[in-house]
Protein backbone atom coordinates (compact mmCIF):
# COMPACT_ATOMS: atom_id res chain seq x y z
CA UNK A 1 0.00 0.00 0.00
CA UNK A 2 1.30 3.45 -0.92
CA UNK A 3 1.93 5.84 1.95
CA UNK A 4 -0.62 8.18 0.35
CA UNK A 5 -3.34 5.55 -0.07
CA UNK A 6 -6.28 5.62 2.32
CA UNK A 7 -6.51 2.07 3.67
CA UNK A 8 -9.60 -0.04 3.13
CA UNK A 9 -10.53 -1.76 6.38
CA UNK A 10 -13.38 -4.22 6.82
CA UNK A 11 -15.29 -5.16 9.94
CA UNK A 12 -16.85 -8.61 10.07
CA UNK A 13 -19.18 -8.29 13.02
CA UNK A 14 -22.70 -8.01 14.35
CA UNK A 15 -25.02 -5.03 13.99
CA UNK A 16 -26.07 -3.12 17.12
CA UNK A 17 -29.07 -0.94 16.17
CA UNK A 18 -28.17 1.61 18.87
CA UNK A 19 -24.87 2.25 17.06
CA UNK A 20 -22.70 2.05 20.15
CA UNK A 21 -21.05 -1.29 19.45
CA UNK A 22 -20.48 -3.77 16.66
CA UNK A 23 -20.31 -3.02 12.97
CA UNK A 24 -21.78 0.49 13.16
CA UNK A 25 -19.31 1.55 15.86
CA UNK A 26 -16.46 0.04 13.85
CA UNK A 27 -17.39 2.04 10.76
CA UNK A 28 -17.51 5.25 12.81
CA UNK A 29 -14.07 4.47 14.22
CA UNK A 30 -12.57 3.70 10.80
CA UNK A 31 -13.91 6.99 9.46
CA UNK A 32 -12.72 9.02 12.44
CA UNK A 33 -9.18 7.62 12.07
CA UNK A 34 -8.68 8.07 8.34
CA UNK A 35 -9.59 4.66 6.94
CA UNK A 36 -12.28 3.72 4.43
CA UNK A 37 -14.70 1.40 6.19
CA UNK A 38 -16.30 -1.71 4.69
CA UNK A 39 -18.61 -4.07 6.53
CA UNK A 40 -19.74 -7.69 6.45
CA UNK A 41 -22.79 -8.51 8.58
CA UNK A 42 -22.07 -11.64 10.63
CA UNK A 43 -25.05 -11.23 12.97
CA UNK A 44 -28.09 -9.08 13.58
CA UNK A 45 -29.08 -8.14 17.10
CA UNK A 46 -32.12 -6.57 18.68
CA UNK A 47 -30.16 -4.40 21.10
CA UNK A 48 -30.10 -1.05 22.84
CA UNK A 49 -27.98 0.48 25.60
CA UNK A 50 -29.76 -1.64 28.23
CA UNK A 51 -30.13 -5.15 26.81
CA UNK A 52 -29.88 -7.59 23.94
CA UNK A 53 -33.34 -9.02 23.27
CA UNK A 54 -32.56 -11.15 20.24
CA UNK A 55 -29.82 -12.42 17.93
CA UNK A 56 -30.13 -13.63 14.33
CA UNK A 57 -27.24 -14.97 12.28
CA UNK A 58 -27.43 -14.97 8.46
CA UNK A 59 -27.19 -18.23 6.50
CA UNK A 60 -23.52 -19.14 6.15
CA UNK A 61 -23.90 -19.29 2.37
CA UNK A 62 -24.88 -15.64 2.32
CA UNK A 63 -22.15 -14.72 4.80
CA UNK A 64 -19.62 -16.34 2.46
CA UNK A 65 -21.11 -14.48 -0.50
CA UNK A 66 -20.71 -11.15 1.34
CA UNK A 67 -17.04 -11.84 2.02
CA UNK A 68 -16.24 -13.27 -1.41
CA UNK A 69 -17.98 -10.46 -3.28
CA UNK A 70 -16.23 -7.77 -1.25
CA UNK A 71 -12.74 -9.28 -1.45
CA UNK A 72 -13.09 -9.96 -5.18
CA UNK A 73 -13.30 -6.22 -5.82
CA UNK A 74 -11.79 -4.26 -2.94
CA UNK A 75 -8.17 -4.43 -1.77
CA UNK A 76 -8.45 -4.94 1.98
CA UNK A 77 -5.57 -3.65 4.10
CA UNK A 78 -6.84 -4.80 7.51
CA UNK A 79 -9.67 -6.86 8.99
CA UNK A 80 -11.43 -6.39 12.30
CA UNK A 81 -13.39 -9.37 13.64
CA UNK A 82 -16.11 -8.79 16.21
CA UNK A 83 -19.26 -10.67 17.15
CA UNK A 84 -19.48 -13.90 15.16
CA UNK A 85 -22.31 -15.56 17.07
CA UNK A 86 -22.01 -19.29 16.53
CA UNK A 87 -19.66 -22.05 15.38
CA UNK A 88 -20.96 -22.11 11.79
CA UNK A 89 -20.27 -18.39 11.38
CA UNK A 90 -16.81 -18.72 12.93
CA UNK A 91 -16.00 -21.64 10.61
CA UNK A 92 -17.16 -19.75 7.52
CA UNK A 93 -15.17 -16.63 8.40
CA UNK A 94 -12.09 -18.73 9.12
CA UNK A 95 -12.38 -20.54 5.78
CA UNK A 96 -12.74 -17.34 3.77
CA UNK A 97 -9.88 -15.59 5.56
CA UNK A 98 -7.69 -18.62 4.86
CA UNK A 99 -8.66 -18.34 1.19
CA UNK A 100 -7.95 -14.60 0.82
CA UNK A 101 -5.09 -14.24 3.36
CA UNK A 102 -5.65 -10.54 4.16
CA UNK A 103 -3.04 -8.70 6.25
CA UNK A 104 -3.50 -7.48 9.81
CA UNK A 105 -6.48 -9.49 11.04
CA UNK A 106 -7.46 -8.08 14.45
CA UNK A 107 -9.80 -10.28 16.50
CA UNK A 108 -11.87 -8.88 19.33
CA UNK A 109 -13.37 -12.12 20.72
CA UNK A 110 -16.79 -10.67 21.55
CA UNK A 111 -18.56 -13.03 23.93
CA UNK A 112 -20.71 -10.96 26.30
CA UNK A 113 -22.43 -7.60 25.81
CA UNK A 114 -22.00 -4.75 28.30
CA UNK A 115 -25.50 -5.60 29.52
CA UNK A 116 -24.32 -9.12 30.41
CA UNK A 117 -26.11 -10.85 27.53
CA UNK A 118 -24.26 -13.70 25.78
CA UNK A 119 -23.12 -12.95 22.22
CA UNK A 120 -21.10 -16.09 21.40
CA UNK A 121 -22.43 -19.63 21.71
CA UNK A 122 -20.31 -21.93 23.88
CA UNK A 123 -20.05 -24.35 20.96
CA UNK A 124 -18.19 -21.69 18.98
CA UNK A 125 -15.35 -21.20 21.44
CA UNK A 126 -13.36 -24.27 20.38
CA UNK A 127 -13.86 -23.32 16.72
CA UNK A 128 -12.62 -19.81 17.49
CA UNK A 129 -9.46 -21.15 19.14
CA UNK A 130 -8.69 -23.82 16.58
CA UNK A 131 -9.71 -22.31 13.22
CA UNK A 132 -9.72 -18.54 13.59
CA UNK A 133 -7.10 -17.44 16.12
CA UNK A 134 -4.21 -19.02 14.16
CA UNK A 135 -5.01 -16.59 11.32
CA UNK A 136 -5.05 -13.49 13.50
CA UNK A 137 -2.27 -10.94 13.69
CA UNK A 138 -3.59 -9.65 17.01
CA UNK A 139 -6.23 -10.61 19.55
CA UNK A 140 -7.69 -8.09 22.00
CA UNK A 141 -9.55 -9.95 24.78
CA UNK A 142 -10.67 -8.42 28.04
CA UNK A 143 -10.12 -10.41 31.23
CA UNK A 144 -13.36 -12.47 31.19
CA UNK A 145 -12.80 -13.28 27.50
CA UNK A 146 -9.23 -14.31 28.27
CA UNK A 147 -10.50 -16.69 30.92
CA UNK A 148 -12.94 -18.29 28.45
CA UNK A 149 -10.30 -18.64 25.73
CA UNK A 150 -7.90 -20.26 28.20
CA UNK A 151 -10.54 -22.42 29.88
CA UNK A 152 -9.87 -21.01 33.33
CA UNK A 153 -10.96 -18.19 35.61
CA UNK A 154 -10.23 -14.67 34.48
CA UNK A 155 -7.00 -13.01 35.71
CA UNK A 156 -7.56 -11.10 38.93
CA UNK A 157 -4.30 -9.16 39.21
CA UNK A 158 -1.64 -7.67 36.97
CA UNK A 159 0.64 -10.56 37.88
CA UNK A 160 -2.01 -13.02 36.68
CA UNK A 161 -2.47 -10.88 33.56
CA UNK A 162 1.19 -11.44 32.70
CA UNK A 163 0.71 -15.20 32.79
CA UNK A 164 -2.58 -14.88 30.91
CA UNK A 165 -0.96 -12.86 28.12
CA UNK A 166 1.80 -15.46 27.80
CA UNK A 167 -0.70 -18.30 27.56
CA UNK A 168 -2.87 -16.42 25.08
CA UNK A 169 0.17 -15.87 22.87
CA UNK A 170 0.57 -19.65 22.78
CA UNK A 171 -2.78 -19.84 20.96
CA UNK A 172 -1.24 -17.90 18.05
CA UNK A 173 1.38 -19.16 15.58
CA UNK A 174 4.91 -18.96 16.94
CA UNK A 175 6.58 -18.82 13.54
CA UNK A 176 5.62 -15.21 12.74
CA UNK A 177 4.90 -11.85 14.35
CA UNK A 178 1.66 -12.05 16.33
CA UNK A 179 0.39 -9.96 19.22
CA UNK A 180 -1.86 -10.15 22.27
CA UNK A 181 -3.43 -7.03 23.74
CA UNK A 182 -4.87 -8.12 27.09
CA UNK A 183 -7.18 -5.41 28.45
CA UNK A 184 -7.28 -4.97 32.21
CA UNK A 185 -10.33 -2.73 32.58
CA UNK A 186 -12.19 -5.29 34.70
CA UNK A 187 -9.67 -4.97 37.53
CA UNK A 188 -10.69 -2.60 40.36
CA UNK A 189 -9.10 0.79 40.94
CA UNK A 190 -8.69 4.13 39.21
CA UNK A 191 -5.58 3.04 37.32
CA UNK A 192 -6.05 0.77 34.31
CA UNK A 193 -3.40 -1.50 32.88
CA UNK A 194 -3.34 -3.22 29.50
CA UNK A 195 -0.58 -5.58 28.41
CA UNK A 196 0.78 -5.78 24.86
CA UNK A 197 2.81 -8.93 24.20
CA UNK A 198 4.44 -10.38 21.08
CA UNK A 199 5.98 -13.45 22.65
CA UNK A 200 9.16 -11.54 23.47
CA UNK A 201 8.40 -8.06 24.81
CA UNK A 202 5.70 -7.42 27.40
CA UNK A 203 4.65 -3.77 27.37
CA UNK A 204 2.65 -2.27 30.21
CA UNK A 205 0.18 0.35 28.97
CA UNK A 206 -1.32 2.28 31.89
CA UNK A 207 -4.24 4.71 31.77
CA UNK A 208 -6.50 6.59 34.12
CA UNK A 209 -10.05 5.27 34.48
CA UNK A 210 -12.71 7.71 33.27
CA UNK A 211 -15.75 7.69 35.58
CA UNK A 212 -18.75 7.39 33.29
CA UNK A 213 -21.53 4.93 32.47
CA UNK A 214 -20.88 5.50 28.75
CA UNK A 215 -18.73 2.47 28.04
CA UNK A 216 -20.91 0.62 25.52
CA UNK A 217 -18.73 -0.63 22.67
CA UNK A 218 -15.34 0.27 24.12
CA UNK A 219 -13.82 -3.07 23.10
CA UNK A 220 -15.23 -2.82 19.58
CA UNK A 221 -13.93 0.72 19.25
CA UNK A 222 -10.42 -0.08 20.45
CA UNK A 223 -9.93 -3.08 18.18
CA UNK A 224 -11.34 -1.25 15.15
CA UNK A 225 -9.10 1.74 15.92
CA UNK A 226 -6.06 -0.56 15.87
CA UNK A 227 -7.23 -2.07 12.57
CA UNK A 228 -7.64 1.41 11.06
CA UNK A 229 -4.26 2.64 12.29
CA UNK A 230 -2.03 -0.38 11.62
CA UNK A 231 -1.87 0.05 7.81
CA UNK A 232 -1.09 3.74 8.35
CA UNK A 233 1.69 2.98 10.86
CA UNK A 234 3.66 0.44 8.86
CA UNK A 235 6.26 2.90 7.57
CA UNK A 236 7.21 4.10 11.06
CA UNK A 237 9.24 2.66 13.91
CA UNK A 238 7.52 0.05 16.09
CA UNK A 239 4.32 0.26 14.02
CA UNK A 240 2.24 -2.09 16.16
CA UNK A 241 3.11 -0.32 19.40
CA UNK A 242 2.45 3.06 17.76
CA UNK A 243 -0.94 1.95 16.43
CA UNK A 244 -2.01 0.52 19.79
CA UNK A 245 -0.91 3.58 21.76
CA UNK A 246 -2.69 5.94 19.34
CA UNK A 247 -5.83 3.76 19.40
CA UNK A 248 -5.89 3.77 23.21
CA UNK A 249 -5.48 7.55 23.31
CA UNK A 250 -8.35 7.91 20.82
CA UNK A 251 -10.60 5.68 22.93
CA UNK A 252 -9.71 7.50 26.16
CA UNK A 253 -10.77 10.80 24.62
CA UNK A 254 -13.91 9.22 23.13
CA UNK A 255 -14.90 7.99 26.59
CA UNK A 256 -14.05 11.30 28.27
CA UNK A 257 -16.18 13.25 25.77
CA UNK A 258 -19.09 10.78 25.76
CA UNK A 259 -21.16 13.07 28.00
CA UNK A 260 -21.80 15.27 24.95
CA UNK A 261 -24.09 12.50 23.67
CA UNK A 262 -27.50 11.51 25.02
CA UNK A 263 -28.17 8.01 23.70
CA UNK A 264 -30.38 5.62 25.67
CA UNK A 265 -30.84 5.00 29.37
CA UNK A 266 -28.22 2.31 29.98
CA UNK A 267 -24.53 2.11 29.12
CA UNK A 268 -24.25 4.88 26.53
CA UNK A 269 -21.82 4.91 23.60
CA UNK A 270 -18.45 6.62 23.44
CA UNK A 271 -18.07 9.73 21.27
CA UNK A 272 -16.40 8.38 18.12
CA UNK A 273 -16.31 11.76 16.38
CA UNK A 274 -15.13 13.85 19.34
CA UNK A 275 -12.28 15.47 17.39
CA UNK A 276 -14.21 16.12 14.18
CA UNK A 277 -17.32 17.51 15.86
CA UNK A 278 -15.23 19.71 18.15
CA UNK A 279 -13.61 21.24 15.06
CA UNK A 280 -17.02 21.75 13.49
CA UNK A 281 -18.26 23.48 16.63
CA UNK A 282 -15.21 25.76 16.71
CA UNK A 283 -15.78 26.74 13.08
CA UNK A 284 -19.46 27.43 13.74
CA UNK A 285 -18.68 29.67 16.71
CA UNK A 286 -16.18 31.76 14.72
CA UNK A 287 -18.45 32.33 11.75
Spot the catalytic one: 29, 49, 140, 218: 218
Q: Which of 184, 219, 221, 268 is catalytic?
A: 219
Mapped onto helix, strand or coil, the DSSP state of residue 52 is: strand
Annotated catalytic residue: which of 183, 184, 221, 268?
Answer: 183
How many CA atoms, within 13 angstroms, populate the side-chain half-sphere of residue 88?
10
Q: Give yes or no for a contact between 57 and 93, defined as CB atoms under 8 angstroms apart.
A: no
Contact 96, 67 (CB under 8 A): yes
212 belongs to the catalytic site: no
Beta bridge partners of 112: 118
Q: Cα–Cα distance between 88 and 164 in angstroms, integer?
A: 27
Catalytic residue among 45, 215, 221, 268: 215
- 3 catalytic, yes or no? no
Contact 33, 273 (CB under 8 A): no
Task: Answer yes or no: 284 catalytic.
Answer: no
Choice among 19, 22, 164, 217 that is catalytic:
217
Is 5 a residue of the active site? no
4 is annotated as an active-site residue: no
Q: Is 183 labeled as catalytic in the residue annotation?
A: yes
| Residue 92 to residue 90: CA distance in whole angstroms | 6
List C-alpha distances in Å: 175 to 57, 163, 169, 213, 238: 34, 20, 12, 41, 19
Of the residues 14, 114, 220, 221, only one is catalytic, namely 220
Q: How many CA atoms lie within 13 A of 124 on its CB side?
A: 20
Active site residues: 183, 215, 217-220
Amino acid sequence: MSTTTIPNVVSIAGVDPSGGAGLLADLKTFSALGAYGCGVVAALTAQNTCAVTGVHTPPTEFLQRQIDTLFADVSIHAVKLGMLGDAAVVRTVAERLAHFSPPDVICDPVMVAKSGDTLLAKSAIAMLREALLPQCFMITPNLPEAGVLLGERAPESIKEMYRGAERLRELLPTSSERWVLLKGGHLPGNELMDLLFDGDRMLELPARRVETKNTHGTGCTLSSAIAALLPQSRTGLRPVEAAVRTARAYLQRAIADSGALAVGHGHGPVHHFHALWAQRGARTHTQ
